[in-house]
Amino acid sequence: MEITLPGLRLFKQAHLYAPDDRGVQDFLIAAGKIVAIAPEIDASGLPGCEVINLQQAIVCPGFIDQHVHLIGGGGEAGPHTRTPEVRLSKLVEAGITSVVGLLGTDGITRHPESLLAKTRALENEGISAWMLTGAYSLPSPTITGSVDRDVALIDKVIGVKCAISDHRSSAPGNEQLANMAALARVGGLLGEKAGISVFHMGNSPRGLAPLEAILQHADVPISKLLPTHVNRAEPLFAQAKAFARRGGYIDITSSIETPIDAATAIASALRDGVPLARMTVSSDGNGSQPVFDSEGKLTGIGVAGFESLLSTLQQLVHRHQLPLEQALRPFTQTVAEFLGFAHKGQLAEGCDADFIILTAGLHIDEVWAKGKMLVRNGYACVKGTFE
């Protein structure tokens, strides 16, 4: 009796960036996993196997976007400025196969419980999803009543978020911040998760001073503290580069164009001795993009998209002449390492079959997540439940 594995497919002649350049390889997937990679794999002994010849098209890991407002953000100009929930098609058409959701300014009319429901919905619809507990303010809004319990007990919660150096934060004290980060760390130990703390960075001249205070007065490892939006101001970015050279991770926002766009930020950081292994890129997708004047008055608002991820990758390769295998790392392998996802961010035997097929010009042709095609010819062929 012949036994066939679900989703058994053999991809022939792929130019594989894993993200290391592996050259032209065949790879076999089954049950949502990559089960074999080799220069030549024979399908004759694989009953029921679909064979797909990629004719040396570029194949790379799916993007891991660790900063997305899955249930919307905003609200800085009243309820009508709350951004809507994200749709599955918007994520996958941008090459995102794994996502981490979080809350922003509004931790009052939006709740971690609703965010948890959305992460489960996206998992059901075809991609991998996690979340951070908390929001801008401290004490953190949580599901169980404490940060450590959320991280330790809820499968989808991998850390916590808050805001610092921003006029929309709750102006937390150093002791509060250290306690929050320590709770996330311990919750991560108990739940076998990363236990990370993500810090939304604003434009305040204080910059990374609150993180420095945590490191001086608490025993949380620097590798568990992630400042994000670090390319939003020149002085902040200078501090962020120093933070990364000391062993911390920094998250660069692809939807920020001024004063430093994401591709330029990465190229600058590399010249200044920051290793690729300490830089990640996220979109801040579906979050609001408010504009404030010098007195803190809102003068405009928009919504961040997801297309900036691919655009940043293209700029790194075409404008800054970074080899593709290096340009891919902040979107894939480095993010996976920071988040503790051993099965994500790379194309290797035993990893999830999350991958993007790119054209020669680095445009998205197909996106596969957990072994299933979600994008064909650049457009979603699988939609969310209510799309």
Residues with a catalytic annotation lie at 284
Task: Tell me how far apart the alpha carbons of residues 235 and 241 are, in angstroms, rounded to a whole number.
Answer: 10
CB of 228 closer than 8 Å to CB of 199: yes
Token pair 């108990």 is found at 190
The 10 Å Cβ neighbour count of residue 121 is 16
Give the CA diameter of the chain: 75
Task: Tell me how far apart the alpha carbons of residues 286 and 3 are, in angstroms, rounded to a whole number.
Answer: 44
Q: What is the DSSP letter of 141?
A: P
DSSP result, 286-299: T-B--EE-TTS-EE
The two three-digit tokens of residue 120, written as one number: 């489960």
- The CA-based dihedral angle spanning residues 166, 168, 173, 175, taken in that order and rounded to the nearest 10 degrees: -90
Task: Tell me how far apart the alpha carbons of residues 103 and 340 are, in angstroms, rounded to a whole number.
Answer: 21
- 3-state class (DSSP) for residue 368: strand
What's the half-sphere exposure (Cβ side, CA atoms, 13 Å) at 363?
Answer: 6
Task: Tell me how far apart the alpha carbons of residues 193 and 150 are, in angstroms, rounded to a whole number.
Answer: 11
Task: Tell me how far apart the alpha carbons of residues 138 and 125 are, in angstroms, rounded to a whole number.
Answer: 33
List all residues 6 or more positions away from 74 whose beta carbon is below 8 Å from its beta carbon. Answer: 81, 82, 83, 104, 105, 106, 287, 288, 290, 301, 303
